[in-house]
Structure 1
């Protein structure tokens, strides 16, 4: 009996390898941490299973690839390139990052609303200065755009602070227990003026690119704030910077940008009421997240061998990017 060939491109300890080796009678695993080894076209094309991020340039010729398991929630870089073979089942790591990323989002939001970032700047200058009034979470209204694992958990945290949460998602037939109101992307114009807070946690798809455009930024309530930890292309960052600099909105916290790393000469670096983090909200290898990811991989390996449906199969219909 020929074994299934699996290529594992993630960093695993000897102890963690036991998750894989329990299936060694049926699967032949090759471990190649991308940070240490060069991944060849032969590696990719010989594999029936790949776990991790294979070089995109080799995937179009991966005719043997039956299943590709990503270790992040977002798969847009692969879908935009249109390189994942049609016969390949694509799964992501949705469910691994809800706790940590929602906490990160809340930290950004509170820092922004309470001017913690400004006080930190003052501290480094030995400047003792009261920066004036701050925003309150309790009693505010927040729009959370994207209600997957992360957005749903973030909504739950906001509710605990007494926030009125308006959820926005592509499919409004999927309910969320942690929002007070639910709308689709096409209804954004009617609700944006109500929000004190807009939080973005959506992937890059044709439907979400430039979702918060200059027109919608102009519709934001005076003094409101925006947080984006999803994808940079979902927000018109130039229009956002204009709005902050003009004093229309109070500020923003951005973990993602259209171009990453953000160029050193970009004006965003010098905007006082803008918090920048380097696409670090997810934290792939944080122990809490990593355990969830490994549990998912183990479940899906077993399901694959048993001929059962895998968890987190990506709906390719929402990624209709042209080559």
Structure 2
């Protein structure tokens, strides 16, 4: 059985052993995989042409959505595993309608992304945007409008691994946590209220922070539009760490310009990289980070650990822990 690992960067050879970065595959990662499957043929490449050649007889491919090659010639393929959570680039009509299993790395991003969200919220509550701007002008000026995260209402839309961790950390700061979730699971003691999506219009007006943690599907495309922004408080902050396509960006820009909402923090945008012509770049109450909230030095360690967990299940002919519903897209 052949496994193709299509990655951004690898530090397998001696010449690359000092390579650093969140997406670097290392020798110890290969060793970890071999402990699960000693007889597995493992091919590692960061080159697109090599990935296209090896996919032809690969049984398993694991990689990032941007590094997984076209799968038209993958005649032996039985399973695709993504080192990312998003699957929209992988789930082509051919794959959706095939017998190929799909899994992702949902769960590995919750710590860095939740910390990123906390950082976004503190930037707004503690007035860091204004303070840093004043520092650039060598201006010593107290901001008497700054406030606290304590006591604020945080509405989390999408209560998966990431949303739940955002809820836990926000609660640690003393915030009141409300959530919208398709599935009402056992209540978590740090979440005050969980409602189905049908309650969205009633919950948006109560929130100081609205945090989008939804997956991107056909059903969630442009989920956040002007009508939803109009339901939010004029003082509300909207944060998106899900996918750019969840937000109708022109409506968001309108909402900020008209002061329908007070501020925005985006780690993802509809078009990436965000075009230089976008008004979002120069809006004083908008924070943009370049789709990096999930990154840390622990990224590939967690990704390989999650892959090995799924590999063990695959070889034992058991359900994959991170199985993706190809019809739903997550």
TM surpasses 0.5: yes
Separation (CA, whole Å) in 2 of partners of 1:166 and 1:23: 41
Q: 1:13 aligns with which of 26, 39, 45?
A: 26
308-317 vs 266-275, greater mean Cα deviation: 308-317
Q: 2:41 aligns with which of 28, 38, 41?
A: 28
The verdict on how the C-alpha distance between 1:180 and 1:317 changes in structure 2, with shifts beyond 3 A counting, is farther
Paired residues for 1:1-323 under 5 Å: 4-10=1-7, 11=10, 12-22=25-35, 25-34=38-47, 38-53=49-64, 58-79=70-91, 81-84=92-95, 86-173=98-185, 175-283=187-295, 286-319=296-329
> 5+ residue gaps in structure 2?
11-24
1:139-162 CA-to-partner distances (Å, cap 9, x unmatched) read: 111110111111100001111122
Separation (CA, whole Å) in 2 of partners of 1:145 and 1:20: 35
Separation (CA, whole Å) in 1 of partners of 2:39 and 2:278: 52
Separation (CA, whole Å) in 2 of partners of 1:311 and 1:24: 17
* RMSD of equivalent CA atoms: 2.1
| Cα shift at 1:76 | 1.8
1:47-74 CA-to-partner distances (Å, cap 9, x unmatched) read: 1101103656622442321111111111
Separation (CA, whole Å) in 1 of partners of 2:188 and 2:90: 28
The verdict on how the C-alpha distance between 1:46 and 1:222 changes in structure 2, with shifts beyond 3 A counting, is same
The verdict on how the C-alpha distance between 1:56 and 1:300 changes in structure 2, with shifts beyond 3 A counting, is closer
Separation (CA, whole Å) in 1 of partners of 2:37 and 2:310: 15
| Cα shift at 1:180 | 1.3
SS in 2 for 1:317: coil
1:186-219 CA-to-partner distances (Å, cap 9, x unmatched) read: 3211111111110111111122211111101011
| Cα shift at 1:223 | 0.7
| Cα shift at 1:232 | 1.0
Aligned residues: 312
Separation (CA, whole Å) in 2 of partners of 1:266 and 1:115: 24
| Cα shift at 1:245 | 2.4
SS in 2 for 1:265: coil
| Cα shift at 1:183 | 1.6
1:57-95 CA-to-partner distances (Å, cap 9, x unmatched) read: 62244232111111111112223x434252111111111
TM-score, L = length of structure 2: 0.88
1:6-42 CA-to-partner distances (Å, cap 9, x unmatched) read: 10113322222211233564311111124xx534433
Contact 1:254 1:275 in 2 (8 A): yes
241-250 vs 153-162, greater mean Cα deviation: 241-250
SS in 2 for 1:287: coil
TM-score, L = length of structure 1: 0.89
